[in-house]
């Protein structure tokens, strides 16, 4: 499959599109089996989760529904503070539903833990988390993540929905950027 021609900006590809698709297929099979008796509501966190949501939903063999939220975390610079502002809320009433939050990446996990406690207060029947990528710091956080695509090193990465300055979301693999991009 063709990828955008950003090869000149890529420093190191951590995962190829094929590796991501293969891992996602494994997770989809787990989810199919875990949710065999119910129709999960997949909740994607905009914007980063767009790609993983689209691919995960289509890798499932069972019915599912999808809804979206957009949040912005207040923080100083690049560190997120865990204080979250809702930019777009769900349109679905999740009370009594089996909710699966779909994330692109968990870094500190602060944004996610705020989100999870907010969603839990709405009375879902169950609430689990799936993330495609997870950084080491997330392991120190109390939020339990049921499905993890890949644990990655603590480096800034782009592709597969993740951006730098709005770019590279449409790059199909996961990569670090050449330092020249930042300068
Ligand atoms: P926390 O720290 O609250 O934040 O888990 C998670 C959010 O931070 C962004 N993030 C990244 N975005 N490349 C990106 O493009 C990265 O390496 C990266 N690390 C964290 C992302 O928006 C995620 O939802
Ligand atoms: Mg995100």
How many angstroms separate the CA atoms of 14 and 20, rounded?
Answer: 10
**Ligand 1 pocket, residue 158 CB under 6 Å:** yes
In this prediction, residue 78 carries a pLDDT of: 57
At residue 24, does pLDDT exceed 80? Answer: yes
Tell me, what DSSP letter sits at residue 176?
E
> Which structural domain, as residue segments, surrounds residue 76?
17-155
Minimal CA–CA distance to 49: which of 95, 104, 106, 1?
104
Residue whose CB lies within 8 A of the most ligand 1 atoms, among 107, 156, 174, for a mutation test: 107
- For residue range 98-143, what is the model confidence (pLDDT) as tens digits? 999 999 999 988 889 889 999 999 999 999 999 999 998 888 877 8
Regarding predicted confidence, which is higher, 15 or 10? 15
- For residue range 47-92, what is the model confidence (pLDDT) as tens digits? 999 999 999 999 999 999 999 999 887 655 555 666 788 899 999 9
180 found inside a domain: no
Quick one: tokens of 156? 């800034």
176 found inside a domain: no
How many angstroms separate the CA atoms of 63 and 43, rounded?
Answer: 14
5 found inside a domain: no
ipTM score: 0.90
| Distance linking the first and last C-alpha atoms of the chain | 30
Ligand 1 mean position to 36 CA, how many Å? 31
In this prediction, residue 141 carries a pLDDT of: 77
User: Would you state the torsion angle of the CA atoms of residues 140, 146, 152, 156, taken in this order, to the nearest 10 degrees?
Assistant: -80
In this prediction, residue 1 carries a pLDDT of: 56
- Which of 2, 32, 107, 165 is catalytic? The answer is 107
173 found inside a domain: no
Cross-strand pairs, 46: 70
Residue-level length of the chain: 183
pTM score, two decimals?
A: 0.92
Three-state DSSP state, 119: helix
Give the atom of ligand 1 at the shortest distance from the alpha carbon of 107: 5
Ligand 1 mean position to 48 CA, how many Å? 9
Structurally, how many domains does the chain consist of? 1
Quick one: tokens of 179? 């330092």
Cis peptide before 47 (omega within 30 of 0): yes
**90: domain CATH number?**
3.40.50.2020
Cβ atoms within 10 Å of 65's Cβ, excluding its own:
12
Give the atom of ligand 1 at the shortest distance from the alpha carbon of 157: 17
């Amino acid at each position: 499959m063709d990828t955008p021609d950003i090869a000149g900006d890529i420093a190191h590809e951590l995962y190829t599109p094929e590796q991501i698709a293969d891992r996602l297929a494994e997770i989809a099979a787990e989810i199919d089996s875990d949710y065999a008796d119910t129709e999960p509501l997949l909740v994607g966190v905009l914007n980063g989760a767009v790609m993983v949501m689209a691919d995960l939903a289509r890798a499932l063999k069972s019915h599912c529904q999808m809804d979206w939220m957009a949040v912005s975390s207040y923080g100083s610079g690049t560190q997120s503070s865990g204080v979250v502002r809702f930019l777009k809320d769900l349109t679905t009433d999740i009370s009594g539903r089996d909710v699966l939050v779909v994330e692109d990446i968990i870094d500190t996990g602060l944004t996610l833990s705020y989100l999870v406690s907010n969603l839990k207060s709405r009375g879902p029947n169950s609430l689990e988390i799936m993330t495609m990528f997870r950084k080491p710091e997330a392991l120190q956080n109390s939020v339990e993540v049921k499905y993890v695509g890949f644990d990655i090193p603590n480096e800034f990465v782009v592709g597969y929905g993740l951006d730098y300055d709005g770019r590279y979301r449409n790059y199909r693999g996961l990569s670090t950027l050449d330092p020249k991009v930042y300068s």
